[in-house]
């Protein structure tokens, strides 16, 4: 099966799955509408919300940082991690955006992606194809070939279950000795400094509690006013990604703590003794002040727009990727915000499917039109 056939099949499957979820759980649409309003409040006043969030992270005993750009983010994370450590990563686009894995490896750290798809991409020395399903372009045979590198019992006839089990077995040896867990955040609650993460595999749960240091790196666009909004965001993201209910929703508010003795909250308890939140700007603050671009910051990275896009469905990761972890229609916007690169926008055929399927009702074609225009100024 070639890429075009595979993505056609996957896209139809995602369409049916999301439609079925929205029929079965109609409150998701209401949550999405409310979430848009809440996220827009933050975008309109992003600087203030960054300050509130950082203050509340510190109040919980965590550490908060504002990284202005990619280099800044790498340095902050590099200093926290140090050298010669074992680091487990959950899938985090912000880390991809700044090239964090490679940077930490260059500092003599052993770094492992723990999301299955991302792990397959890592050991294949590839690049994520889709924001939610990074190894979407890999067949069972491709995955088996990659995993054979760490488990010789896997071959091209291995079942998917066997491939998954082999990766699980390998990663367990890394979890138990990991010094640092690095995750992203689907949402960050300004009112409490808590982060929310949604997943199905269970790797994020382990990454966030087993190592003694947890670093979350995420964009300032992920800030929402309240923890309730953060919970809304993970539910909406999961539903529009096509897996609902999600297997796990994780909330982390500071380092591990307990109030079991005299109801006095102390840290650490069993989980991490340190929690670090790195908030990444990298063009987002400028975008929030640009009326033609700011809607892009509403994106919750569900990846649904990819499936509706004719260009993505032909070019796949050859469209935007390797320049940016963000691909498809939202990737055109995000590649511009974070890399100031307008050229992928030129291929947009304004099919408009992206805006129809977007849970945040972002007028993606209009934003891309602006990016095309900005590109045309440099012809």
- Is 128 a residue that touches other proteins (CB under 8 A)? no
Q: 317, 137 in Cβ contact below 8 A?
A: yes
315 binds other proteins (CB under 8 A): yes
Contact 249, 198 (CB under 8 A): yes
| The binder of other proteins chosen from 160, 247, 314, 340 (CB under 8 A) | 314
Contact with other proteins (CB under 8 A) among 16, 173, 247, 322: 16
What whole-number distance in Å separates Cα of residue 140 and Cα of residue 21? 27
State the minimum distance, in angstroms, from the CB of residue 282 to other proteins: 24
The alpha carbons of the chain give a radius of gyration, in whole angstroms, of: 20
Alpha carbon dihedral 241, 246, 250, 251, in 10-degree steps, equals: 70
Q: Kindly tell me which residue out of 55, 108, 149, 350 binds other proteins, with binding defined by CB under 8 A.
A: 350
Stretch touching other proteins by CB under 8 A, among 29-37, 38-46, 76-84, 349-357: 349-357
The window from 23-31, 209-217, 225-233, 351-359 that contacts other proteins (CB under 8 A) reads 351-359
By C-beta, is 57 or 368 nearer to other proteins? 368
Q: To the nearest whole angstrom, how small is the minimum distance from the Cβ of residue 357 to other proteins?
A: 4
What tokens appear for 193 in the block? 């400094």
- Distance linking the first and last C-alpha atoms of the chain: 39
Q: Which of 313, 332, 337, 360 binds other proteins (CB under 8 A)?
A: 313
| Site for other proteins contains 103 (CB under 8 A) | no
127 binds other proteins (CB under 8 A): no
Shortest distance, position 171 Cβ to other proteins, whole Å? 35
3-state secondary structure of 261: coil
Using CB under 8 A, pick the residue from 76, 121, 243, 311 that binds other proteins.
Answer: 311
**DSSP 3-state assignment of 215?**
strand
Task: Answer whether 319's CB lies under 8 Å from 311's CB.
Answer: yes
195-199/187-189 β-pairing? antiparallel
Q: Distance between CA atoms of 222 and 92, rounded to whole angstroms?
A: 12
Q: Is 345 in the site for other proteins (CB under 8 A)?
A: yes
d(CA 291, CA 28): 28
CB 292 within 8 A of CB 97: no
Burial of 79 (0-12, 13-18, 19+ CB in 10 A): exposed
The answer to the question of residue 353 lying near other proteins (CB under 8 A) is yes
- CB-nearer residue toward other proteins: 74 or 372: 372
For other proteins, the closer of residues 235 and 357 by Cβ is: 357
- Residue 237 within binding range of other proteins, rule CB under 8 A: no
Using rule CB under 8 A, residue 310 touches other proteins: yes
Binding to other proteins by residue 71, rule CB under 8 A?
no
153 burial via Cβ count (<10 Å: 0-12, 13-18, 19+)? exposed
Residues that bind other proteins (CB under 8 A): 4, 8, 11-12, 15-16, 19, 307-308, 310-311, 313-315, 343, 345-353, 355-357, 365, 369, 371-373, 375-376, 379
């Amino acid at each position: 099966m070639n890429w075009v056939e595979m993505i056609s099949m996957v896209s139809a499957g995602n369409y049916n799955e999301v439609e079925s979820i929205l029929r079965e759980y109609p409150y998701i649409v209401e949550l999405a509408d409310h979430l848009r309003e809440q996220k827009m409040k933050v975008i309109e006043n992003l600087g203030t919300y960054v300050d509130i969030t950082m203050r509340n992270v510190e109040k919980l005993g965590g550490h908060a940082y504002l990284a202005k750009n990619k280099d800044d983010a790498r340095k902050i994370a590099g200093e926290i991690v140090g050298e010669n450590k074992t680091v487990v990563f959950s899938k985090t686009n912000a880390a991809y955006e700044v090239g964090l894995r490679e940077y930490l490896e260059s500092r003599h750290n052993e770094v492992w992606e723990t999301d299955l798809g991302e792990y397959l991409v890592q050991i294949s020395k590839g690049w994520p194809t889709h924001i939610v399903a990074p190894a979407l372009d890999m067949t069972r045979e491709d995955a088996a070939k990659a995993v054979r590198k760490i488990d010789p019992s896997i071959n091209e006839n291995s079942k998917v279950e066997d491939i998954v089990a082999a990766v699980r077995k390998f990663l367990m040896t890394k979890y138990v000795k990991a010094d640092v867990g690095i995750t992203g955040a689907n949402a960050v609650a300004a009112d409490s400094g808590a982060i929310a993460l949604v997943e199905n595999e269970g790797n994020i749960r382990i990454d966030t509690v087993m190592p003694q240091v947890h670093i979350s790196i995420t964009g300032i666009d992920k800030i929402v006013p309240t923890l309730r909004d953060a919970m809304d965001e993970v539910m909406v993201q999961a539903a529009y990604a096509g897996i609902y209910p999600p297997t796990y929703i994780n909330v982390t508010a500071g380092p591990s703590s307990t109030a079991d003795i005299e109801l006095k909250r102390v840290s650490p308890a069993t989980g991490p003794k340190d929690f670090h939140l790195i908030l990444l700007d990298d063009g987002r603050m400028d975008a929030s002040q640009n009326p033609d671009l700011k809607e892009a910051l509403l994106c919750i990275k569900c990846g649904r727009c990819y499936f509706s896009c004719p260009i993505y469905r032909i070019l796949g990761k050859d469209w935007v990727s390797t320049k940016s972890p963000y691909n498809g229609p939202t990737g055109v916007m995000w590649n511009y915000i974070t890399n100031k690169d307008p050229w992928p926008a030129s291929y947009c055929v304004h099919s408009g499917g992206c805006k129809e399927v977007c849970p945040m009702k972002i007028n993606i074609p209009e934003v891309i039109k602006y990016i095309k225009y900005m590109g045309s100024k440099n012809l």
